[in-house]
Every structure is written in C-alpha cells, then in structure tokens.
C-alpha cells in the first residue's frame, strides 16, 4: 500500500544492542521498515529475532542504539511527551489487565490518567468501547478473574482503543484462545481495522491469524528485515526460516486460508 501521506511508522537503519552478562548482544542491525496508513502488518521471526523488541521500540520503551524510529512523524522515544496512549494503542499478549480493577475501570484507566475529562464522560467512553469490542455493558463491573480468556483479550483491546489512537500494536493477539474464540477475535480486529481506519502492527506465531488479517508480512531473521510484502510473495522468498515457518506441516492449513481469503494477497 502506498500513499502520499507520511508513513505511520518509519524505521531507518535501526540497531538494537543490549548488554547481557558483560557481552554485547546485537538484536537488530541496519533494519529498515515503513508502515503506511491503513496497513495491517504482521511481524514474524524465530525466537530471539527481536519482534517484541521492535514493538517496544515503536512504543518508545526501548531507545535505538543507532538509527531512527518515527511514529506519526515523531521520534518514538518522545511519544510520552505528546501522550503516547492517544497515538499508539497496545494489546499485550496476556491482556495485562489490572487484577484489582473492574472491567470498566481497566478500560477507563488511560482516560482517567489524563485528568482532563469529567468522570461521567470517562465512564460513557469506556462503556462505548466495551460495546465496540462485542461485550455487553453487564460485564462492566466484573473483575478480570471472572472473565474467560477471550473476554480478557476484548477488554484489553477496548482499553487499547479508549483514546482513539490511529496506530494499534498487537502482541500475539490470539495466543491462548481456542479456535472458535481465535476466529471470533480475528473477525473483530478485521472489522475494527476497517471501520476505524486503523494502522495495525501485529506480532504472531499463529499462521491462521496471520493469513486472515495481514495485508503485509515482515520477516525478521539474521538481525535484519529479510523480506516484507504480501503473504504470497514472502512465502516465495528463499530462506530456511521462511520455508520452515510457512511451508512445513503446520503451514498446510494456512495455505488453504490463503486461498480462502484472497484479500490477504
């Protein structure tokens, strides 16, 4: 996807370097990636390839050792100065709900932190987001311990969207869900992506999720972004990780989905 508008995420010559037990560990080396408005890009890679590090860098939680990462035209590590939650929503793998807060209070938390809106408007906004993710307002006063895994994901998604951010980051959004719940959650993300005009960056190991949702796939390996593009082009790229990830035994069902969802190619 190409537009005249600036990229929502622009990564140039990124190096991510960490000190571990006195050793320098290079995770990313001269990595480039641009994500345009309205895309839904999946990041894939093996263990230790730096997928979560990249999400944290886009959020501004990790500072590049070298290179630049811009989000909506601003350096990512300065997002907090402009109200990060209003620009980037984050769905963590296990939901990361506050166990002592009700569903409503979890969703409302980012708005309440701003301290700029009256409580009745904060409550109304949280209830709207609760319904937006397919949950009845009767769940508003439940506690996280009373929720199923699928409901926890939906509440966490509502919280990520409470500030109407244009960019949404998803870390393993269907991990831990049964197949029916995973399919329903994918349908929800696809609907919100379309209706809200979101730009989405997703880390996933699940091929069903990847093929159902992705407009583009970006593959991390050997410290680089080795290829990115439509799923059918990425699958054709000659690299051992890609062959094992997409074309092994578990990839056969995903290939059926690729034919079933032609919009993903």
Segment (H or E) for 16 = strand 9-20
Residue 193 lies in a domain: no
Which of 213, 184, 207 lies closest to 255, judged by CA? 207
Residue 194 lies in a domain: no
Residue 154 lies in a domain: yes
pLDDT at 155 over 60: yes
Is residue 122 a contact partner of residue 113, using CB atoms and an 8 Å limit?
Answer: no
What would the two tokens of residue 56 be? 């944290």
Q: Where are the alpha helices (DSSP H) in the chain?
A: 51-59, 103-114, 119-132, 149-161, 179-196, 207-213, 231-235, 240-247, 251-260
Q: What is the 8-class DSSP label of residue 6?
A: P
More confident: 216 or 93: 216
Give the domain extent around 132.
91-164
Segment (H or E) for 82 = none
Residue 63 lies in a domain: no
Q: Residue 138 — very low, low, confident or very high, per pLDDT cuts 50/70/90?
A: very high
Please state the rounded mean pLDDT for residues 81-86.
Answer: 54
What total number of domains does the chain contain? 1
Is residue 229 a contact partner of residue 34, using CB atoms and an 8 Å limit?
Answer: no
Q: How far apart are CA 104 and CA 192, in angstroms?
A: 20
Dihedral sign for Cα 62, 68, 227, 234, please.
positive
Residue 86: phi and psi, rounded to 5, are -85, -10
Residue 177 lies in a domain: no
Residue 142 lies in a domain: yes
Residue 83 CB coordination number (10 Å): 14
Cβ-proximal residues to 172 (8 Å cutoff; 6+ apart), any chain:
93, 203, 204, 205, 206
Q: Give residue-wise pLDDT tens across range 198-216.
A: 999 999 989 989 999 999 9
Is the entire prediction scored with pTM above 0.85?
A: yes
pLDDT at 83 over 60: no
pLDDT at 86 over 80: no
Which pLDDT value is given to residue 2?
Answer: 46
Which of 98, 152, 113, 158 lies closest to 133, judged by CA? 158
Q: Give residue-wise pLDDT tens across range 165-204.
A: 999 999 999 999 999 999 999 999 999 999 999 999 999 9
Cβ-proximal residues to 119 (8 Å cutoff; 6+ apart), any chain:
none
Q: Give residue-wise pLDDT tens across range 46-56.
A: 888 999 999 99
More confident: 226 or 4: 226
Number of helices (H) and strands (E), helices first, in the chain? Answer: 9, 10
- What value does the CA radius of gyration of the chain take, rounded to a whole number of Å? 19
Which pLDDT value is given to residue 117?
Answer: 85
């Amino acid at each position: 996807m190409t537009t005249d508008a600036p990229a929502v995420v622009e990564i140039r010559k990124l190096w991510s370097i960490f000190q571990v037990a006195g050793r320098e560990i290079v995770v990313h080396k001269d990595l480039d990636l641009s994500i345009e408005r309205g895309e839904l890009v999946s990041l894939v890679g093996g263990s230790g390839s730096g997928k979560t590090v990249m999400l944290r860098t886009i959020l501004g939680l990790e500072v590049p050792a070298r290179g630049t990462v811009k989000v909506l035209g601003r350096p990512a590590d300065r997002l907090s100065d402009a109200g990060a939650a209003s620009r980037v929503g984050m769905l963590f793998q296990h939901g990361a709900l506050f166990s002592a807060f009700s569903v409503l209070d979890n969703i409302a938390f980012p708005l309440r932190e701003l301290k700029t809106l009256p409580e009745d408007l904060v409550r109304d906004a949280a209830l709207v987001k609760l319904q937006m993710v397919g949950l009845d307002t009767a769940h508003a006063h439940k506690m996280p311990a009373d929720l199923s895994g699928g409901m926890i994901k939906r509440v966490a998604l509502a919280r990520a969207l409470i500030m109407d951010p244009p960019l949404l980051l998803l870390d393993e959004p269907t991990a831990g869900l049964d197949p029916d719940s995973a399919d329903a959650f994918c349908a929800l993300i696809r609907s919100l992506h379309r209706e809200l005009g979101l730009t989405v960056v997703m880390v996933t190991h699940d091929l069903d999720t990847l093929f159902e949702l992705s407009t583009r796939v970006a593959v991390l390996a050997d410290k680089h972004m080795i290829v990115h593009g439509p799923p059918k082009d990425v699958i054709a790229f000659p690299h051992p990780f890609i062959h094992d990830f997409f074309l092994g035994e578990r990839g056969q069902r995903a290939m059926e989905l690729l034919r079933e969802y032609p919009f993903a190619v």
